[in-house]
């Protein structure tokens, strides 16, 4: 985990918003990359699945948008909870952590 790094940043005067921005930003960057790659792969595989779908087209924009928003919101929550916990870390305890 990055407890030691966050402890050093807080001990050197990093603000709460800076730590939140760091943790959430890196997490959402990875999630966004995964979503973009997943959208590209799913767009490419729709031709194979078109015969299996009933009542919805293989390239239904509403489905792509809904799934993308769901994945982004879950990713944001998954990044925010550890970031909030990281902000509350005591710098002295974090520096001793190893």
- pTM for the complete prediction? 0.76
Q: How many domains does the chain have?
A: 1
Mean pLDDT of the chain: 86
In this prediction, residue 61 carries a pLDDT of 86
Higher pLDDT among residues 42 and 94, named by residue: 42
In this prediction, residue 1 carries a pLDDT of 62
Can you tell me the distance from the alpha carbon of 21 to that of 84, in angstroms, rounded to the nearest whole number? 11
Question: Token pair for residue 40?
Answer: 């590209």
Tens-digit pLDDT profile for residues 33-81: 999 999 999 888 887 887 777 777 777 888 889 999 999 999 999 999 9
Can you tell me the distance from the alpha carbon of 67 to that of 75, in angstroms, rounded to the nearest whole number? 12
Q: Which range marks the domain in which residue 28 is found?
A: 3-96
Residue with tokens 């509350």: 88
């Amino acid at each position: 985990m990055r407890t030691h790094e966050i402890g050093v940043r807080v001990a050197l005067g990093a603000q709460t918003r800076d730590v939140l921005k760091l943790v959430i930003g890196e997490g959402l960057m990875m999630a966004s990359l995964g979503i973009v790659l997943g959208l590209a792969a799913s767009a490419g595989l729709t031709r194979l699945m078109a015969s299996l779908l009933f009542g919805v087209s293989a390239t239904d924009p509403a489905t792509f948008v809904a799934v993308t928003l769901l994945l982004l919101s879950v990713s944001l929550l998954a990044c925010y909870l550890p970031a909030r916990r990281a902000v509350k870390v005591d710098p002295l305890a974090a520096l001793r952590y190893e």
